[in-house]
Amino acid sequence: MPTDSFSPTQADAYTLRRRPPSEKLLDTGFRQLTLVMASMVAVVLISIFLVVFTGAREAIGEFGLSFLTTSGWDAVNQQYGAFVAIYGTLVTSILSLMVAVPLGVGTAILITEDVLPRAIRNAVGLMVELLAAIPSVVLGLWAIFVMEPAIRPALNLLHAWFGWSPFFDTTAQGPGMAPAILILVVMVLPIITAISRDALNQVPIELRQGAYGVGTTRWGAIFSVILPAAISAITGGVMLALGRAMGETMAVTMIIGNAINFNTSLLAPGNTIASMLANQFGEADGMQVSALMYAAVILMILTFTVNVLAQWIVRRLSLRY
Amino acid sequence: MATTTISSGNQRSDLFDRRPLTFDPSLKRNRINRVLTTVAGIFGAIAVLPLFLVLLYVLFQGGRLLSPTLFTQLPPPPGLEGGGIGNAVIGTILVTLIASAIAIPIGVGGGIYLNEYSARGWFSQFVSFGNDILAGVPSIITGVFVYGIVVSTRLFFNQSFSAVAGGIALAVLMLPTVIKTTDEGLKLVPQELRWGSYGIGASKFVTVMRITLPAAFTPIATGVVLAIARAAGETAPLIFTALFSPFWPEGIFNPIATMSVLIFNFSIMPYEAQNELAWAASFVLVVMILAANLFARWISKVSRA
């Protein structure tokens, strides 16, 4: 603050300093400015919905709800159906979570409970966080050239054993749903681990002490006291990871094979909404753009629902202890 | 727990387990304990395994291509050998700078409003909720969005695909993180600091600028560095906003090459030279991003000490 209003005489030191109009203007101006900046979130969010929805209007009028259940994607005859992509989005994200949740929560327990020396636990935590930092396009590159050739024999073994089931009735010949699911596991694992770790760390120490005090073992305490206390945040984190898995684009696009035709087999190429957008949006025109926007609307509704549900679960399920 | 009592007439004694209180590893509960601990250990090992494998391959495959010409030359035309990724390195830096220049001021301002001005009313709740939703919007959708408002409308100088469009798309992606970290960082500032500032006659603006923001600098800086690192590696929003260019950048209103899009484009090409450049670009990108992450960690550690 400028000190020019002070003078050496005693009396002046105690006179109230009036705030000059310029200072008041600056104050209110700054407040309004930050208000506008905070509103940008709402503006951007609403415009995203508006832009995508207006773009999709033409296709929504043309195809209606049958867009969700038909599986043609024919740019010549202008016939579009997103069933393959919607099916692929749901199947890859849900199956990847079924693998990632036990792994992630198990790792989080390993990091938070005193099983290992603190230095090792911190190192594991750091490594999982660094895994989250690796760009998805780099994971995709790795999946194409390293992971997929490496796991192909294992996938073909699955085909040899379970070839009778519709989920494994093709041989693995390269890109497909199964490698896409595995790379999604790698991508959502850090999210689940980080959120579960925070949730487990927030369980009051008294709860653990109480559990051990009545004579339970470590895993008795984990299963009957610590996990139930942290379950709301963990479930919320799992839902967030589900949303992330549904919208994940690059790694999946590079490894899923981008099929147009429907196939139940997890070893065959598939497609997701996000990878369909990544592949076609740049070169599409006319009705195809609108159809892609329609698919984007569906993806947004899916992730929006999952995210809202996640927040609701965290608030609703939180245990009072 | 079932007990075999050897009590001498005392009825209450069979309520208690008379076994000694020493640890008995052969008990069922202790065996289950060991099995589950092992399972958790295996899960943890599986969780860190991909990091090692990815880093190993990126460092090995990309590191051996590392040379000065990698940063000074353009990518070769399909079928030819050699070349570098100089234009993509510059492009990534440029697009990320544009994104930061948009997202950081708006995000920090929005965070200031949320924590310092709004009295936790409906508006701030709405903005916080919207912020979480915006953070969950798939990155490819932000690409579609920016394509819709900037690229297809030719908003800037009648140019369609441009570095600015890419920067805006990344800014949309960064914004929720910056707002969130600012808001959380400001929450950690003790209320007494603000009262002290008002007490000696500072205005709200001066308090925020000179007292509150500097006190929350560390968490905000950490979050901002992490947001920048994440944006630098994003590909999906750039594919149809910044597009790609095999040439040196021609200003920010033209299509521009970025490392992430280069990796995507070159990894699916059937040419050896292009695939190798994709690995080299991955190396540069991963080193940059991991360095930024460790830097952010270092900032928060230094200031806590």
Can you tell me the ipTM of this complex?
0.85
B13: pLDDT strictly greater than 60: no
DSSP A64: G
> Nearest Cα to A1, choosing from B268, B204, B106, B150?
B204
pLDDT in tens, A17-56: 777 888 888 888 998 898 898 888 989 999 999 998 888 8
Smallest Cβ distance to A34: which of B48, B109, B144?
B109
Domain spans of chain A, in order of start: 82-273+304-317
Report, as an integer, the average pLDDT of B250-275: 83
Smallest Cβ distance to B203: which of A27, A52, A278?
A27
pLDDT at B44: 87
Which residues on B lie below 8 Å from A104 (Cβ)? 47
Task: Rank A91-100, B116-125, B238-247 by mean pLDDT and report only the highest.
Answer: A91-100
Contact in structure between B87 and B248 (CB atoms under 8 Å): yes
Is the Cα torsion angle A6, A7, A8, A14 positive or negative in sign? negative
Burial group, residue B70, by CB count within 10 angstroms (0-12, 13-18, 19+)? buried
Which residues on A lie below 8 Å from B200 (Cβ)? 1
pLDDT at B108: 92
Q: Specify the range with the lowest mean pLDDT, choosing from A5-14, A37-46, B33-42.
A: A5-14
Instruction: Indicate the pTM of the whole model.
Output: 0.86
Cβ-based neighbour number of residue B129 at 10 Å: 16
Residue A143 contacts B where some CB pair is shorter than 8 Å: no
Tokens coding B176: 């929720």
Distance CA A215, CA A212 (A): 5
B70: pLDDT strictly greater than 70: yes
Distance CA B128, CA B122 (A): 10
pLDDT at B170: 93
Contact in structure between A24 and A255 (CB atoms under 8 Å): no
Contact in structure between A253 and A186 (CB atoms under 8 Å): no
Confidence of residue A14 (pLDDT cuts 50, 70, 90): low
Contact in structure between B90 and A4 (CB atoms under 8 Å): no
Distance from CA of B85 to the nearest CA of A (A): 16
Which residues of B, range 5-24, sit inside 8 Å of A by Cβ? Answer: none
3-state secondary structure of B186: helix
B136: pLDDT strictly greater than 70: yes
Which residues on B lie below 8 Å from A251 (Cβ)? none
A60: pLDDT strictly greater than 70: yes
> Virtual CA dihedral for B287, B290, B293, B298, nearest 10 degrees?
-80
Mean pLDDT of chain B: 83
User: Are the Cβ atoms of B113 and A137 closer than 8 angstroms?
Assistant: no
Confidence of residue B3 (pLDDT cuts 50, 70, 90): very low
pLDDT at B2: 46
In chain A, the percentage of residues whose pLDDT exceeds 70 is 93
pLDDT at B6: 47
pLDDT at A47: 92
Tokens coding B59: 């460092």
pLDDT at A319: 58
Please report which residue ranges of chain A form alpha helices under DSSP H: 10-13, 21-63, 83-112, 118-133, 136-142, 148-162, 177-201, 205-213, 218-221, 227-247, 250-256, 273-280, 287-317
Which residues of B, range 80-119, sit inside 8 Å of A by Cβ? Answer: 105-107, 109-114, 116-118
Give the fold, CATH level 3, of B68-304. Answer: MetI-like fold (1.10.3720)
B35-42 LR contacts (CB < 8 Å, sep 24+): B36/A219, B37/A115, B37/A218, B37/A219, B39/A106, B40/A106, B40/A107, B40/A109, B40/A110, B40/A115, B41/A110, B41/A115, B41/A116
Residue B140 contacts A where some CB pair is shorter than 8 Å: yes
Residue A214 contacts B where some CB pair is shorter than 8 Å: no
Confidence of residue B5 (pLDDT cuts 50, 70, 90): very low
* Residue A19 phi, psi dihedral angles, 5° rounding: -75, 125
Residue type, B115: N
pLDDT at A68: 80
B298: pLDDT strictly greater than 90: no
B119: pLDDT strictly greater than 70: no
Distance CA A275, CA B81 (A): 30
Distance from CA of B7 to the nearest CA of A (A): 23
Q: Specify the range with the lowest mean pLDDT, choosing from A176-180, A284-288, B290-294.
A: A284-288
Smallest Cβ distance to A107: which of B47, B124, B133?
B47
Q: Max CA-CA distance within chain B?
A: 99
Q: Specify the range with the lowest mean pLDDT, choosing from A146-150, B207-211, B252-256.
A: B252-256
Distance from CA of B129 to the nearest CA of A (A): 9
Pairwise pLDDT comparison (A10 vs B65), residue with the higher score: B65
3-state secondary structure of A80: strand
Residue B235 contacts A where some CB pair is shorter than 8 Å: yes
Contact in structure between B177 and B227 (CB atoms under 8 Å): yes
A140: pLDDT strictly greater than 50: yes
Residue A220 contacts B where some CB pair is shorter than 8 Å: yes
**Test the A interface: residue of B30, B267, B284, B301 with most A CBs within 10 Å:** B267
Pairwise pLDDT comparison (A310 vs A16), residue with the higher score: A310
pLDDT at A1: 45
Which residues on A lie below 8 Å from B234 (Cβ)? 135
pLDDT in tens, B141-182: 998 899 888 877 776 776 778 888 889 999 999 999 999 999
Q: Specify the range with the lowest mean pLDDT, choosing from A251-255, B5-9, B116-120.
A: B5-9
pLDDT in tens, A201-217: 888 888 888 988 888 88
B18: pLDDT strictly greater than 70: no
Residue B215 contacts A where some CB pair is shorter than 8 Å: no
CA atoms in the 13 A half-sphere facing the CB of B119: 0
pLDDT in tens, B83-109: 778 888 888 999 999 999 999 999 999
Confidence of residue B9 (pLDDT cuts 50, 70, 90): very low
DSSP string across A157-204: HHHHHHTTSGGG-S---SS-HHHHHHHHHHHHHHHHHHHHHHHHHTS-
Domain A82-273+304-317 -> CATH class: mainly alpha
Distance from CA of A177 to the nearest CA of B (A): 17
User: Are the Cβ atoms of B47 and A44 closer than 8 angstroms?
Assistant: no
Report, as an integer, the average pLDDT of A157-168: 79
Distance from CA of A94 to the nearest CA of B (A): 16
Pairwise pLDDT comparison (B158 vs A309), residue with the higher score: A309
C-alpha gyration radius of chain A: 27
> Nearest Cα to A107, choosing from A132, A90, A89?
A132
Smallest Cβ distance to B130: which of A45, A129, A249?
A45
Contact in structure between B73 and B86 (CB atoms under 8 Å): yes
Which residues of B, range 246-285, sit inside 8 Å of A by Cβ? Answer: 260, 263-264, 267-268, 275, 278-279, 282, 285
DSSP string across B227-266: HHHHHHH--TTTTTTT---SS----TTS----HHHHHHHH
Mean pLDDT of chain A: 84
Distance CA A140, CA A57 (A): 33
Distance CA A189, CA B44 (A): 11
B138: pLDDT strictly greater than 60: yes
Q: Which residues pair with B156 in a beta bridge?
A: B159
User: Are the Cβ atoms of B138 and A274 closer than 8 angstroms?
Assistant: yes
Which residues of A, range 247-306, sit inside 8 Å of B by Cβ? Answer: 247-250, 253-254, 274, 277-278, 281-282, 292-293, 296, 299-300, 303-304, 306
The gap from C-alpha A187 to its chain's centroid, in whole angstroms, comes to 9
